[in-house]
Chain A
Amino acid sequence: MNLLEFEGKALLRESGIRVPPGQRVTSPDQLQTMHYPVVIKSQVPIGGRGKSGGIYVADTVDDAKEAYERIRKLRIKGYLPSAILAEEAVQIRQELYFSLSVDRRNKMELLLFSEAGGMDIEKVDKDRIRAINIDPILGLQDYQLAQILLHATIEEKAKVGLKQVIRGLYGAFKARKLELLEINPLVLDSAGEWVCVDAKIVVDDNLCHKNSQEAAKAPSSFEEATHGLGVNGVELEGDIALITSGAGAGLATIDELKSHGGTVRAFVDLGSLVYDKDKMMEVIELVYDLKPKVVLFNFYFQVARCDTLSEAIVNSLRDIPVVVRTRGKYEEEAREMLVQHGCYATSEFNDAVLKTIEMLSGERTAHGNLG
């Protein structure tokens, strides 16, 4: 999960790392008591805010209030701000890029450092970026830190402070098990202190507990709604809704459907929800709401029961053709129940795929006749 800047900075502050004095603004009155100039920053989950007018440096309270009202309503790449952050402006003497992340390919931690701070790191020349893999068991070594800073053009006194800041950031990265901790820019201010002027932090989804505020927010998309029920759902533009258990089998089913000219309206991997009839029905309802032309259920269970699934299916039927492939415990009972309720039921993967395609062309013909 990506934290917004103000959430990320709160995390840094808790870890004893310096960020600019500031606050989340919910009423313009809060802007009255700050030390000016103040930076008004839109809190959106996407980069490029500066260029889109989402960041403004205000010299006076009136100026700041005006900017607050303007930025509050400013949509950036489709996003309205979730919050507005007001911070006292930092006098910049030098700015750096710094990040820590999980390096999947090398199975190590990765530290990136560059003197080209404040720029999009993807656009910085490779030879201006220092990359160091850190062994997750040993942690950041002194020699590595020395290597990173050896040829950097930074005053000696500031280097000492910078080492401390990097140690602190590394500590927070480890303690919070962060997937990404990116400070860009990391700024040396006029008082000779290092300050994290921006923060992009990704926390591990496996460690996130949805807070009540988030749960209360109405899900706005199929993806979010299915995610809220604990499954992965993807909405696409095609005809067939595919519901499976397991990522690999699901993708293989899509490949097979496409090889016969089928297109996918939605794909849902029920995962471990296959034990919970009621939750499954909620997911199925969401899928039907997308009005697919055919729904294909493709299930090959090793542990879960087919009859739990078939009950969920027959209890949520609508006027949309349904093809079900079941393998596993109680598969025959499941198919019997499904056939009784007018579904097409089979034990074979390929049969299910071909039948789905056939129903789809039947659907097309039917509409053709009406037209």
Chain B
Amino acid sequence: MAILVDEKSRIIIQGLTGKVGRIFSERMVQNKTPLVGGVTPGRGGSVDSYGVPVFDSVREAEQATQADWSLVCVPALAVRDAVIEAIDAGITHIVVYAEGVPAHDALAFLDYASLKNVAIFGPNSAGVFSPGRANVSDLDDRIVESGDIGIVSKSGTLTYEVIEVLKQIGLGVSTVACLGGDPLIGTEYVQLLKEFAEDEQTKIVVLLGEPGGDLEIKAANYIRQMKKPVVAYIVGQNAPRGKKMGHAGALVSSQEETAESKKEILQNAGAYVVSTLTQIPNVVKSLQDRNGCAITR
């Protein structure tokens, strides 16, 4: 079993017929992701170019399809309203794809989601993907194979690279979840590590982090008590201090938040820490060889 999303999930796209929504709709239909509908106000009652039913509101979509997942593909300044609408309609898992959501908007809907027990991925998240089951991410289905590595990451583009190097040594993925590159994001590493710890399919977890914020440090506290091995890579060990080198979330505001410091904290918690992307396959391989498939620490 993968975690979070699978073939039994019922997914909708908010902004289905928009520029971004259309790309996802086509891909999901082609690759048999359980996309049950989408929302574009004013176009309810029709179907999109790929045969997916369109609804006027999330509530109508939920009533007709029992949707539990939503991929929010609306522009950044419309995200707040879209997410709150989805929460009000009873959606339990939401991916916010847009980059550039104002901080106050994120504060409000993240707060509302946590009060209503709704899981938010993002903003600025590449999404969640359980290969062969369901893909609510911008990862191309063709590049990811099913397997026993769980991946949790802040960065979409780094995740592609990690999947690639794992594939080269014949390893696939149980679930990959991208948390998002913004300073304020919903679901954190810890929640996903807990899910991966209990997932039978997942044998090893790869954690990808970056400088800035304290989420990797919180993750280290949980890794301490985990039996499954966690391989961790924090990018940006060579990034100069005080320069914005990518994600808005990657700005360092205290010594503890640098890549070096996070690396050390994770190492002390028992994670297998690497310094570069190309070291990941070697470490994963050696962990696998040590105990065959049933890897425990």
A interface, CB within 8 angstroms of B? 102, 104-105, 107-109, 135-137, 174, 177-179, 204, 206-207, 232, 234, 236, 244-252, 254-256, 258-259, 264, 267, 269, 300, 302-303, 327-328, 349-350
**Which of B35-43, B51-59, B64-72, B101-109 lies on the face that meets chain A?**
B101-109
Within the assembled complex, what's the spacing in Å between the Cα atoms of A263 and B182? 27
B interface, CB within 8 angstroms of A? 23, 76-77, 100-105, 107-108, 110-112, 114-115, 138-140, 153-161, 164-165, 181, 183-184, 208, 210, 213-214, 233, 235-240, 243-247, 250, 275-278
Residues of B within 8 A of A269 (CB): 246
Verify A258–B138 contact, CB threshold 8 A: no
Verify A104–B275 contact, CB threshold 8 A: no
Residues of A within 8 A of B103 (CB): 102, 177, 179, 204, 206
Given A137-B108, A137-B111, A256-B277, also A250-B246 (CB < 8 A): yes
Residues of A within 8 A of B164 (CB): 300, 327, 349
Within the assembled complex, what's the spacing in Å between the Cα atoms of A328 and B165? 15
Contact of B235 among A207, A251, A350 (CB under 8 A): A251
Residues of A within 8 A of B155 (CB): 246-249
Given A104-B184, A248-B181, also A234-B236 (CB < 8 A): no
Verify B278–A256 contact, CB threshold 8 A: yes
Contact of A177 among B105, B112, B153 (CB under 8 A): B105
A126 to chain B, nearest CB (A): 15
Within the assembled complex, what's the spacing in Å between the Cα atoms of A249 and B153? 12
Q: A250-B246, A251-B239, A300-B160 are in contact. List 9 more A-B contacts (CB 8 A).
A: A104-B213, A204-B103, A206-B103, A248-B210, A249-B158, A252-B233, A254-B236, A302-B156, A327-B164
Verify A206–B235 contact, CB threshold 8 A: no
Residue of B nearest to A259 (CB): B276
Residues of A within 8 A of B101 (CB): 206
Given A258-B238, A259-B276, also A252-B107 (CB < 8 A): no
Residues of A within 8 A of B76 (CB): 206
Residues of B within 8 A of A300 (CB): 157, 160-161, 164
Residue of A nearest to B238 (CB): A258
Verify A232–B246 contact, CB threshold 8 A: yes
Within the assembled complex, what's the spacing in Å between the Cα atoms of A74 and B158? 46
Residue of B nearest to A269 (CB): B246
Within the assembled complex, what's the spacing in Å between the Cα atoms of A328 and B139? 11
Given A232-B246, A234-B243, A255-B236, also A248-B208 (CB < 8 A): yes
Enumerate the 8 nearest inter-chain pairs by beta-carbon distance, A residue then B residue, closest first: A248-B155, A246-B157, A247-B246, A248-B158, A249-B157, A251-B235, A177-B104, A136-B107
Residues of B within 8 A of A236 (CB): 240
Residues of A within 8 A of B104 (CB): 102, 136, 174, 177-178, 204
A340 to chain B, nearest CB (A): 26
Residue of A nearest to B163 (CB): A300
Give how many A-B residue pairs fall within 8 Å (CB-CB). Answer: 142
Verify A255–B235 contact, CB threshold 8 A: yes
Residues of B within 8 A of A234 (CB): 240, 243-245
Residue of B nearest to A347 (CB): B164
Within the assembled complex, what's the spacing in Å between the Cα atoms of A246 and B23? 19
Main secondary structure of the interface of A (DSSP, over half): mixed
Verify B111–A255 contact, CB threshold 8 A: no
Within the assembled complex, what's the spacing in Å between the Cα atoms of A289 and B100? 29
Within the assembled complex, what's the spacing in Å between the Cα atoms of A179 and B253? 15
Residue of B nearest to A255 (CB): B276
Residues of B within 8 A of A254 (CB): 236, 238-239
B110 to chain A, nearest CB (A): 6
Residues of A within 8 A of B107 (CB): 102, 107-109, 136
Residue of A nearest to B251 (CB): A104
Given A248-B247, A256-B276, also A303-B157 (CB < 8 A): no
Within the assembled complex, what's the spacing in Å between the Cα atoms of A335 and B112? 48
Within the assembled complex, what's the spacing in Å between the Cα atoms of A259 and B237? 11
A-B contact pairs, 22 of them (CB 8 A): A136-B104, A136-B108, A206-B76, A206-B102, A234-B245, A246-B156, A247-B181, A247-B246, A248-B246, A249-B158, A250-B246, A251-B250, A252-B161, A254-B236, A254-B239, A255-B277, A256-B277, A267-B245, A303-B138, A327-B160, A328-B140, A349-B161
Within the assembled complex, what's the spacing in Å between the Cα atoms of A269 and B23? 23
Residues of B within 8 A of A251 (CB): 158, 210, 235-236, 239, 245-246, 250
Residue of A nearest to B139 (CB): A302
Residue of B nearest to A244 (CB): B157
Within the assembled complex, what's the spacing in Å between the Cα atoms of A252 and B110? 29
Verify B184–A255 contact, CB threshold 8 A: no
Within the assembled complex, what's the spacing in Å between the Cα atoms of A232 and B236? 15
A67 to chain B, nearest CB (A): 33
Verify B159–A350 contact, CB threshold 8 A: no
Residues of A within 8 A of B115 (CB): 137
Residues of A within 8 A of B139 (CB): 302
Residue of A nearest to B208 (CB): A248
Residue of A nearest to B244 (CB): A232
Residues of B within 8 A of A327 (CB): 160, 164
Verify B153–A248 contact, CB threshold 8 A: yes
Within the assembled complex, what's the spacing in Å between the Cα atoms of A302 and B111? 32
Residues of B within 8 A of A247 (CB): 155, 157, 181, 210, 245-247, 250
Within the assembled complex, what's the spacing in Å between the Cα atoms of A247 and B104? 23
Residues of A within 8 A of B23 (CB): 303
Residue of A nearest to B124 (CB): A247
Verify A349–B102 contact, CB threshold 8 A: no
Verify B277–A349 contact, CB threshold 8 A: yes
Within the assembled complex, what's the spacing in Å between the Cα atoms of A74 and B290? 67
Residues of A within 8 A of B181 (CB): 247-248
Verify A135–B111 contact, CB threshold 8 A: yes
